[in-house]
Amino acid sequence: MMPPEMTPDDVLSRIPVVEAHVPGATILHPLRRYIQIATLVLLVLIPASGLFRIDLVSGGVVMLGWQVWFSDIFIIMGFWILIASLLIMMYSLVGAVFCGWLCPQNTVSEWANAMTSKLLGRRALMMDTSGERMQVATQRKSLANYMLLGLLLLGASLVYALIPMFYFFSPQAIWSFVSFRYDPELAGGLHWIYIVFVFLMLTDITIIRHLLCKYMCIYRVWQHSFKTRDTLHISYDDSRSDHCANCHYCVDSCFLDIDPRRPEVFDSCVNCGACVVACDQLHSKSKKLEGPGLLRLTFGDEWKGKYRGMLGSFFSRARTVTITGIAGALIFSYGVVNYQPASFSVYRADSEQGNMVLNYRVNIAYKVDRPETMHIRVDGLAADEFSLQKDSVHFDTSGRKDVILHLRDNLPEGLHRFRVTVTSDGGWTKKFQVVHFVGSKVQAKS
Ligand code: SF4
Ligand code: SF4
């Protein structure tokens, strides 16, 4: 029963109205934001967890706590062939989606634009190259707004400039760095390098922002070179173009200044979907415009009026790259199976007596981030002809250690071949052949 004091209009106004949002508006925007944030988190987690890091000391990379040197050619080559193949498949399937959904430069530029719009007004966006001066909204012209924006951009630069450091140093070393504590892992002068990074980052998010995407990013051009007519693209519903009279909302929402109503096969669209969301939101809020938005992200060759199906189309284009990717995976697997966790060499030590080398250095490099003990054995020399500084070395983690092998001066003249063998408790073993020359004129050769 309707209470007597209420009119029918009152009752109607109390019925909750569910807005007829279309999928683009409700899913695309938050999904993209989550993916952008997850990418930033992953960018830190990948090196911080030891999954992938650059090792400046060994001159290689560290994968899952295992050092991979350039001499581990099958792992390096297979890995990059596999990654390159996967990326090419991605470019040809979904275009430059990396730029719109994953790229940290775009993420920070969008965030900087949002903060600028909020604090100084939309016309204060600094990426405008139209020649018009940036204009700050009258009601937002306050010192507090300028200062807050400056502090936010500086804070973001300080945090962003730390991300590359995770690829060179352990999280413990970075914590020492930010808390101004000494850490032997950190090179001297690192704070200066960091300050330069912060300055570059601040310049980027204060002034450059999407100008980098538009005019400087070669990676974006590279991705576009793999686009085909079937690649994911924006599609425009021409049959309802009357909705666009006096509307420019989608064009305004595009940070690349593309008009999504005129999609072209090889335009510079990065499939961010911002225009799709803009048009969907417009339609969901408008009382006059019926139906969903006029834009959508779609696969297929609509320019020829032909749609071959996403997977069929993808595999027809990606056959070669699929084979290359499988080859890369096989090469990588072969490299992993034959991975050598350690390496050693024997070479002349610096100390000489006269011109004759009597000391050799056994240099053992251990590549894995877990404890191991290595045992050294010399074959081919009598026990009274040499002495080892120690016959085993222990590693708590990856690193290099030297053991001096001293040859006594009672060796007769001539060539002496002997072999140094290093064996780990874990079962790894390697032999190194040394040729030592004792000449009548006191010479030595190895
Ligand atoms: S936002 Fe939608 S309605 Fe407006 S111009 Fe773009 S496509 Fe047309
Ligand atoms: S046209 Fe649309 S999808 Fe493409 S970059 Fe611009 S806003 Fe993003």
Q: What one-character-per-residue DSSP string does 253-300 give?
A: H-TT---TTS--TT-------HHHHHHHHHHHH-SS--SS-SEEEE-S
Shortest-distance Cα residue to atom 8 of ligand 1: 244
Shortest-distance Cα residue to atom 7 of ligand 1: 294
Centroid of ligand 1 to alpha carbon of 45 (angstroms): 40
Q: Which ligand 2 atom is the nearest neighbour of the CA of 271?
A: 3
Q: Which ligand is nearest to the CA of 281?
A: 1
- Choose among 308, 298, 300, 304: nearest CA to 237: 298
CA 140-146-149 angle, to 5 degrees, is: 105
Q: Which ligand is nearest to the CA of 271?
A: 2
Most informative mutation of 236, 241, 250 for ligand 1 (most atoms within 8 A of CB) = 250
C-alpha–C-alpha distance, residues 293 and 315, integer Å: 31
Shortest-distance Cα residue to atom 6 of ligand 1: 250
Helices (H) and strands (E) in the chain, counts: 14, 15
Q: Which token pair is 289?
A: 């415009």
Centroid of ligand 1 to alpha carbon of 297 (angstroms): 14
Alpha-helical segments (H) within 49-189: 73-94, 97, 104-120, 143-160, 171-178
List 402's β-bridge partners, or say none. 363
Centroid of ligand 1 to alpha carbon of 152 (angstroms): 33
- Choose among 16, 20, 10, 212: nearest CA to 112: 212
Centroid of ligand 2 to alpha carbon of 310 (angstroms): 21
Pocket of ligand 2 (CB under 6 A): 100, 234, 253-254, 256, 258, 260, 269-275
Q: Which ligand 2 atom is the nearest neighbour of the CA of 273?
A: 3
What the chain holds in terms of domains, given with CATH numbers, is 342-438 (2.60.40.10)
Shortest-distance Cα residue to atom 2 of ligand 2: 275
Centroid of ligand 1 to alpha carbon of 243 (angstroms): 7
**Digitized pLDDT (tens) for each residue of the chain, 446 residues in all:** 445 555 545 544 554 444 455 667 778 999 999 999 999 999 999 999 989 999 887 778 999 889 999 889 999 999 999 999 999 888 888 999 999 999 999 999 999 999 998 998 877 775 555 556 667 777 777 899 999 999 999 999 999 999 999 999 989 889 999 998 888 877 777 888 899 999 999 999 999 998 898 888 999 888 888 888 788 899 999 999 999 998 999 999 998 889 999 888 778 899 999 999 999 999 988 888 888 899 999 887 665 544 455 556 566 667 788 899 999 999 999 999 999 999 999 998 865 555 567 889 999 999 998 999 999 999 999 999 999 999 999 999 888 999 999 998 888 888 999 999 999 999 999 999 999 888 775 444 44
Q: Which token pair is 420?
A: 């140094």
Q: Which ligand is nearest to the CA of 100?
A: 2
C-alpha–C-alpha distance, residues 443 and 355, integer Å: 6
Whether 394 contacts 424, CB under 8 Å: no
- Provide the 8-state DSSP code for 303: T
C-alpha–C-alpha distance, residues 62 and 76, integer Å: 11
- Choose among 211, 197, 202, 107: nearest CA to 156: 202
Q: Which ligand is nearest to the CA of 28?
A: 2
Helix, strand, or coil (residue 376): strand
Q: Which ligand 1 atom is the nearest neighbour of the CA of 278?
A: 1
pLDDT at 85: 92
Helix, strand, or coil (residue 25): helix
Shortest-distance Cα residue to atom 7 of ligand 2: 254
C-alpha–C-alpha distance, residues 62 and 53, integer Å: 5
Q: Which ligand is nearest to the CA of 284?
A: 1
Centroid of ligand 2 to alpha carbon of 242 (angstroms): 21
Q: Which helix (H) or strand (E) holds 57?
A: none
CA 34 to chain centre: 17
Neighbours of 200 (CB within 10 A): 13
Strands 414-424 and 392-395: unpaired
Shortest-distance Cα residue to atom 4 of ligand 2: 269
